Amino acid sequence: MKVTKQSRRDAKALFRACQVNGVLDENRVRQAVDEVLEKKPRGFAGTLSHFVRLVRLEQARRTARIESSVPLSPELQSGLKAALEKRYGQGLHFVFGENPDLIGGVRVQIGSDVYDGSIRARLDGIYEDFKAA
Amino acid sequence: MSTLLQDIESKISGAKTTVAKQNVGIVREIGDGVAKIEGLTDAMLNEMLDFGNGVTGLALNLEETEVGAIILGEYTSVKEGQEVRTTGKLLQVPVGKGLLGRVVNALGQPLDGKGPIKSDKSYPVEKIAPGIVKRKSVSQPVQTGIMAVDAMIPIGRGQRELIIGDRSTGKTTIGIDTIISQARLNKAAEASGEKDYRPLYCIYVAVGQKQSNIARVISVLEEAGAMPYTIVVSASASDSATNQYLAPFAGCAMGEWFMDNGMDALIIYDDLSKHAVAYRQVSLVLKRPSGREAYPGDVFYLHSRLLERSARLNEKSGNGSLTALPIIETQMGDVSAYIPTNVISITDGQIYLETDLFYQGVRPAISVGLSVSRVGSAAQIKAMKQVSGRIKLDLAQFRELAAFAQFGSDLDAATQAKIERGKRVVEIFKQPQYNPLSVEVQVVILWAVQNGYFDDVAVDKIKDFQNKLTDYLTSRKADLVAKIQKEKALSDALTAELKAVVTEFKQTYK
């Protein structure tokens, strides 16, 4: 679907209105979507599709995905949470997951930042180095 | 002993492995060699992006929620949803003398099957041009070996001289002739062990041309023995538009290395019209707003930032230079089209080639009225200045008078003489392709014309007379040629000697 410039502008304005102190407010988001669907202004479909994209990107930016090969102990989890909140500020959403492919170590992704301390990443690095040489 | 073990064990246990932060994104859209990537919040403009599997991209559009990147090389393996990483590096190409004699693509990778490039240095493709403080004005000549150019539209080292004309009017030939001439001069200087001579290395950038044309140029350069002093950067019509857009910048980076290291280089962009078209294509698929003739708004900046990188550096900055000969193809001789006017206004003069002249047999088909070199006369050697001072004006006057003379047969003697002289000068300036003349021989011939030694030779015999005079000079009077080369000016003694030599030749000429 073609999203017009006006729809994009409207979506951006809607998105800004849903923020409280720079953090996205879930209630406001729901309320805004309900309101738009009810009133159906011109080009609302495009506006909402761009709005969804902005919300998705914002959520990804505030979500820390932590993957490890084995489940992390609660102490380690809280330690990680504290360290990440110190760097990225309060209000992060944490998702812990298991990924045996990593072999060992931890991979953390927040938005587009990735801290990959897994054994898999190091092996891949060595492989690339050999291939380049 | 146990303390030693404890010490190193505690040190090892205290060692921490650091994890580097990476910035990643996801390919959301891919097509026409352009990818739209979500994420990559830390990407820089013109930064290289790693798509994995050896595929690299270049970040060209930084938008609020996504990054628009062009993919260098094969883009069919890139898939939607694929992860992309920033590299923290700007696009670079290998530079150095190891590239001489090689044919490379826009990324500096070899295309000639002669093995890897021997180079340990690389330069960023996009670089800011040298500033005012580092520059000095043009003072040394580039001997193109084309008499019409060297006499009337001289080019200096560090100058940017545009070669402009319709299709098949001999634009590329002027560039190739210049390269061959440089190779001959470089070789001669190497053989004689001349210390003051500064070799001029050449870079030929082919943009959007047929591969057969590029192959022909390379074979001509090889036959003439010019390849050891030349780098060919090729982005043919079958290469992606992104590579065609990058090729001139890559060639320029290779030339800049010579300039920065106190050497002289010459770069030929063949041609910038196709480069502008390739950039238009890249811009349109990146969804940048289009302007006149659908070119993006920054098409002027595209060429100005490229050509500004050609410069003559002062002694403090190494005394190097980079001369540029951009080529522009016009449509139906229209020099006032968008891209031609842009490039004319950027360069320090232009050599305008006319179709009519070309088909009349005047080759190189240089239009004297429209061609100009704004700074090159400062770089001409004194001997050339002495003999070519009025020749451009004379020739322009001749063209005017010749047109006028068609209407009336009664002309006064002075006008008649001017027309006759003009006809001979036109003949003198005709020159076969890939056959550059040395500046000393040019000086002698022009001197002979200026002093009326050609006046009593029939117009159809002029070329024969000139060729025999050239042979006579190079084979029998090599010492006179050497003297002119050494003194670089025509003193009274030299003029007297010239007079004797040319008179002697005329007596023997049949």
Asked if B81 contacts B71 with a C-beta cutoff of 8 angstroms, the reply is: no
Both structure tokens of B492: 């009274």
Is pLDDT above 80 for A98?
Answer: yes
Q: C-alpha distances in angstroms, B87 versus A102, A106, A128, B502?
A: 22, 22, 14, 67
Q: Show the CA angle centred on residue B169, arms to residues B166 and B173, nearest 5°.
A: 125
Sign of torsion over alpha carbons A60, A64, A68, A73: negative
- A101 by Cβ neighbours in 10 Å (0-12 / 13-18 / 19+) ranks as exposed
- State the nearest Cα–Cα gap between B293 and chain A, in angstroms: 23
Give the model's confidence band at A74: pLDDT under 50 very low, under 70 low, under 90 confident, else very high.
Answer: very high
Nearest-CB residue to B65 (from A53, A114, A117): A53
Asked if B247 contacts B72 with a C-beta cutoff of 8 angstroms, the reply is: no
Tell me, rounded to whole angstroms, the distance of Cα B127 from its chain centroid: 18
| Helices assigned H by DSSP within B238-375 | 241-260, 272-285, 299-307, 338-346, 355-360
3-state SS, one letter per residue, for B107-151: CCCECCCCCCCCCCEEEECCCCCCCCCCECCCCCEECCCCHHHHH
pLDDT in tens, B64-109: 889 999 998 788 889 999 999 999 999 999 999 999 999 999 999 9
Tokens 């054994």 sit on residue: A119
Q: Which long-range contacts (CB under 8 A, 24 or more apart) does A32-35 make?
A: none
pLDDT of the residue at B11: 82
The pLDDT of A34-59, averaged and rounded, is: 92
Tell me the pLDDT of chain B averaged across its residues: 93
What span, in angstroms and rounded, lies between the C-alpha atoms of B373 and B364? 17
pLDDT in tens, B317-332: 999 999 999 999 999 9
Please provide residue B165's backbone torsions phi and psi, each rounded to the nearest 5 degrees. Answer: 170, 170
Tell me, rounded to whole angstroms, the distance of Cα A17 from its chain centroid: 20
pLDDT of the residue at B396: 83
The pLDDT of B42-60, averaged and rounded, is: 91
The pLDDT of B195-199, averaged and rounded, is: 91
Q: Show the CA angle centred on residue B339, arms to residues B108 and B176, nearest 5°.
A: 50
Q: Which of B176, B276, B274 is nearest to B226 (CA)?
A: B176
B135 labelled catalytic:
no
- State the nearest Cα–Cα gap between B28 and chain A, in angstroms: 12
Is pLDDT above 80 for B270?
Answer: yes
pLDDT of the residue at B416: 87
Both structure tokens of B140: 């040394």
pLDDT over 90 percentage in chain A: 71
Which DSSP state fits B270?
A: E
A54 touches B: beta carbon within 8 Å: yes
pLDDT of the residue at B369: 86
Both structure tokens of A9: 């502008």
A113 with B19: Cβ contact below 8 A: no
Give the model's confidence band at B408: pLDDT under 50 very low, under 70 low, under 90 confident, else very high.
Answer: low
Is pLDDT above 70 for B470?
Answer: yes
pTM of the model: 0.90
Nearest-CB residue to B24 (from A54, A57, A114): A114
Q: Which long-range contacts (CB under 8 A, 24 or more apart) does B165-168 make?
A: B165/B329, B165/B330, B165/B352, B165/B353, B165/B354, B165/B355, B165/B365, B166/B329, B166/B330, B166/B331, B166/B332, B166/B333, B166/B353, B166/B355, B167/B329, B168/B358
pLDDT of the residue at B311: 96
Both structure tokens of B142: 């580039």
Tokens 């811009």 sit on residue: B283
Cβ neighbours of residue B71 closer than 8 Å, sequence gap 6 or more: B30, B33, B34, B35, B51, B55, B56, B57, B78, B240, B242
**ipTM associated with this complex:** 0.86
Selected catalytic residue, list B28, B216, B374, B399: B374
B23 with A117: Cβ contact below 8 A: no
A52 touches B: beta carbon within 8 Å: no
pLDDT of the residue at B390: 82
Nearest-CB residue to B65 (from A57, A109, A113): A57
Both structure tokens of B238: 């079958």
